[in-house]
Amino acid sequence: MNDPDRLRLEEPTPDVRAIITDIEGTTSDIAFVHDVLFPYAREYLPEFVRARADDPEVAALVEDVRNEADATDVDLDRVIDILGQWMDEDRKSTPLKALQGMVWQQGYTDGDFTGHVYDDAVASMQAWADDRRALYVYSSGSVTAQRLLFTYSDHGDLTDLFSGYFDTRIGPKKKIRSYKAIAAELGEPPSSLLFLSDVGDELDAAAEAGLQTCWVARDEDTQEKARMNERHPVVASFEDIELI
């Protein structure tokens, strides 16, 4: 590992004890999320919500949508319209994400698609797990959706690699407090945690919380933007990350 171009993450104080990774754009292709998962949810979420409206879990999420939309008196059809609008906006709403995850379950189990995970992400995550580094996911997709993607991945079931999952129930991904809450939940000093993402605002928030960060910029446009930010080490793939 003496390649001078290889990114080495020097430890501020302790070594990296745990890695927390984003999914969309980081472990997995943005196109899989936007061209496969989102259209599937756009098509099947309305009938899913109607069919399961009396299920207590779905009913509670529908109520959460009404509250988040500040529309407490609206009927189910209006809630479904709101969810459609939020999907069009790619709003990172916790109840929407929970409902999407429940809808995707059908797609994965029917074999309509498998979860895309980059080859380099699989290889590095396997090596880190072998090296006894704990690996966590933090995504706006619900924990259910995260588990599904890695259970039904292109590479088979990868869930053994992960020690835990966080979604927006711990807080939004662009807020400093979310990363502090994750560190507190893991019982680790923030500086011993490494957060991987393709989004600068998420990395900025993590760095402000004291985490080590790495910008996974998989295409040239993102690499240029990432390098201009200058706050985070930049890699084109997980292969370029060398942990000390």
Q: How remote is the C-alpha of 116 from its chain's centroid?
A: 13
Which member of 79, 103, 122, 145 binds ligand L4RZE5RM (CB under 6 A)?
A: 145
- By C-beta, is 26 or 124 nearer to ligand L4RZE5RM? 26
Q: Does 93 bind ligand L4RZE5RM (CB under 6 A)?
A: no
Q: Does 25 bind Mg ion (CB under 5 A)?
A: yes
* 228: amino acid identity, one letter: M
Instruction: Please give the Cα distance from 238 to 116 (Å, whole number).
Output: 15
Report the helix count and the strand count for the chain, using DSSP H and E: 10, 8
- By C-beta, is 26 or 144 nearer to Mg ion? 26
Nearest residue (beta carbon) to ligand L4RZE5RM: 141
Which member of 149, 183, 217, 235 binds ligand L4RZE5RM (CB under 6 A)?
A: 149
By CB under 6 A, which span of 23-31, 64-72, 106-114, 154-162 interacts with ligand L4RZE5RM? 23-31
Residues ≥6 apart with Cβ < 8 Å to 71: 78, 79, 82
What's 140's DSSP letter? S
Instruction: Please give the Cα distance from 83 to 78 (Å, whole number).
Output: 9
* Selection from 93, 112, 101 nearest residue 48 by Cα: 101
- By C-beta, is 61 or 148 nearer to Mg ion? 148
Instruction: Please give the Cα distance from 129 to 57 (Å, whole number).
Output: 34
By CB under 6 A, which span of 65-73, 133-141, 208-216, 231-239 interacts with ligand L4RZE5RM? 133-141
Instruction: Please give the Cα distance from 27 to 196 (Å, whole number).
Output: 9
By CB under 5 A, which span of 18-26, 45-53, 122-130, 232-240 interacts with Mg ion? 18-26
Query: Are 70 and 93 within 8 A, CB to CB?
Result: no
**Shortest distance (Å) from residue 50 CB to ligand L4RZE5RM:** 22
Q: Could you list the residues that contact Mg ion (CB under 5 A)?
A: 22, 24-25, 198
Q: Could you list the residues that contact ligand L4RZE5RM (CB under 6 A)?
A: 22-25, 33, 37, 92, 97, 139-141, 145-146, 149, 173
